[in-house]
């Protein structure tokens, strides 16, 4: 018998206030970051401060929200972030906010192992015919928060594009949702200075056709990307997809034809830019968002054809740079750091690991192993599969 996903959707649809009512004292709430931040909930989060205490939130740096900056939040709603923006700095002065010092590649370790969340809230695409909604433009820690949370809250926004590789959330797993229609956050191009343009031209002189690139954020990376437009067959394995990256993809400069890992795919972890960028990411079949652990901070990037070959061909004067980029040394150090963190942390709770995928019936399958939930019981995503 075919599952009536639309009936489930209607039963779980409510207002923003209905979504906020799910949050109780003592809960840890993780909000998706960047373009998948649930703006409606974040803008009204302060309205529950009079009925809750000791609520801890994890969020990105974006947005100036009352619950972050206003007085009276400390002890009721406190916020931590891996990125620290202007509003978070203001909130820190009021005792509301804390910076979370963690390497980007360890965000998932923090959110799943050291500080698992009770509630995961995100903005998502509309539901498809299989009952799946998608968190499509940010995968920094969203997948691990979804896997460990007991309650899932979504803001369904028709302006969000579906992107290959995005986090699929079945309507069965959703606790509550609300429909919104605000525009996706846009980030304008930063204008480079003449000095940055000169640096960009020098960087361009070190590049060649077929290189695999990671582009940073800001005016200097934009200037460097603009100088690449005469190159061909570039590969992409980057952290943030920006407007300049979108243009290079649209112009065919980035096509991934010489990549030796994920051949022909343009990989990124999160995106921020113009509507044209979001349209490119959604419509180009080669664009793929990946989990942070498979992004540019992962050792797989070291397999790419590009940077290391450039360093080697530049001669003995650059051997010190080669030593800095040895994958084996980098991974050994990371493993030691993670081991120390785990030993210093509280005893690890049994967790579910692996990638969650939906089968043809919309059920979740765990491709690794399934253990108990973080409070000794199975989270709803796993309970539903067992009940079937």
Domains and CATH numbers, the chain: 9-185 (3.40.1080.10), 194-305 (3.30.750.70)
Q: What percent helix, strand, coil does the chain show, rounded to 5?
A: 40, 20, 45
Q: What is the pLDDT along the chain (388 residues), one digit of tens a residue?
A: 568 999 999 999 999 999 999 999 999 999 999 999 999 999 999 999 999 999 999 998 877 899 999 999 999 999 998 887 777 888 888 899 988 888 877 787 777 766 789 999 999 999 999 999 999 999 999 998 998 899 999 999 999 999 999 999 999 999 999 999 999 999 888 899 999 999 999 999 999 999 999 988 889 999 999 999 999 999 999 999 999 999 999 999 999 999 988 999 999 999 999 999 999 999 999 999 998 765 555 544 445 545 433 333 333 333 333 333 334 444 444 444 444 444 444 444 444 444 444 444 444 444 333 334 444 445 555 544 444 4
Taking the CA atoms of 165, 112, 106 and 91 in sequence, report the sign of the dihedral they define: positive
Measure the CA–CA gap between 332 and 319, rounded to whole angstroms.
20
pLDDT number for residue 125 = 98
Stated as kind and residue range, the H or E segment containing 69 is helix 66-69
| E runs forming strands in 23-131 | 28-31, 55-59, 77-81, 97-99, 119-124
Q: Return the exposure string of 141-164: e unless at least 16 CB atoms fall within 10 Å of the residue's CB, then b.
A: bbbbbbbbbbbbbbbbbeebbbbb
pLDDT number for residue 325 = 36
pLDDT number for residue 379 = 56
- The helix/strand/coil state of 156 is strand
Task: Name residue 21's beta-bridge partners.
Answer: none
How many C-beta atoms surround the C-beta of residue 189 within 10 A? 16
From the list 46, 188, 48, 180, the residue with the least C-alpha distance to 122 is 180
Supply the pTM of this predicted model.
0.77
Cα 104 to Cα 65, 110, 132, 140, 173, distances in angstroms: 24, 10, 28, 8, 27
Cβ atoms of 93 and 112 closer than 8 Å: no
Question: Exposure of 324 by Cβ count < 10 A (0-12 exposed, 13-18 middle, 19+ buried)?
Answer: exposed
pLDDT number for residue 256 = 95
198 Cβ contact partners less than 8 Å away, ≥ 6 residues apart: none
pLDDT number for residue 150 = 94
pLDDT number for residue 210 = 95
Cα 326 to Cα 236, 293, 300, 344, distances in angstroms: 20, 18, 12, 28
pLDDT number for residue 323 = 33
Cβ atoms of 138 and 162 closer than 8 Å: no
């Amino acid at each position: 018998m075919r599952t009536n996903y639309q009936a489930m959707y209607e039963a779980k649809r409510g207002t923003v206030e209905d979504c906020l009512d799910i949050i109780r004292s003592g809960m840890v709430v993780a909000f998706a970051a960047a373009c998948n931040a649930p703006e409606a909930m974040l803008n009204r989060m302060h309205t529950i401060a009079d009925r809750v205490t000791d609520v801890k939130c994890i969020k990105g740096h974006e947005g100036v929200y009352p619950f972050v900056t206003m007085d009276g939040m400390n002890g009721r709603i406190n916020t931590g972030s891996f990125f620290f923006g202007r509003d978070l700095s203001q909130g820190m002065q009021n005792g509301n906010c804390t910076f979370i010092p963690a390497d980007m590649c360890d965000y998932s370790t923090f959110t799943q192992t050291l500080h698992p969340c009770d509630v995961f809230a995100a903005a998502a695409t509309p539901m498809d015919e299989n009952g799946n909604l998608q968190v499509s433009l940010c995968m920094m820690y969203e997948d691990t928060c979804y896997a460990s949370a007991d309650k899932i809250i979504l803001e369904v926004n028709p302006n969000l594009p579906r992107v290959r590789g995005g986090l699929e959330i079945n309507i069965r797993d959703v606790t509550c949702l609300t429909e919104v229609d605000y525009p996706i956050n846009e980030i304008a191009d930063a204008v480079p200075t003449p000095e940055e343009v000169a640096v960009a031209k020098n960087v361009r002189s070190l590049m060649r056709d077929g290189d695999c690139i990671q582009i940073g954020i800001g005016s200097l990376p934009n200037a460097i990307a603009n100088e690449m437009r005469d190159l061909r067959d570039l590969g992409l394995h980057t952290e943030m997809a920006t407007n300049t990256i979108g243009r290079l993809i649209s112009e065919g400069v980035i096509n991934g034809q010489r990549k030796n890992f994920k051949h022909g795919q343009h990989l990124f972890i999160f995106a921020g830019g113009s509507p044209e960028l979001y349209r490119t990411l959604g419509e180009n079949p080669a664009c793929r968002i990946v989990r942070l652990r498979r992004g540019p901070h992962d050792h797989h990037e070291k397999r790419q054809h590009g940077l290391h070959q450039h360093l080697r061909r530049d001669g003995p004067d650059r051997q010190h740079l080669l030593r800095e980029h040895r994958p084996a040394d980098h991974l050994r150090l990371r493993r030691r750091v993670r081991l120390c963190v785990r030993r210093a942390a509280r005893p690890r709770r049994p967790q579910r690991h692996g990638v969650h995928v939906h089968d043809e019936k919309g059920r979740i399958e765990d491709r690794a192993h399934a253990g108990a939930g973080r409070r000794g019981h199975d989270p709803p995503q796993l309970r539903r599969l067992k009940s079937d």
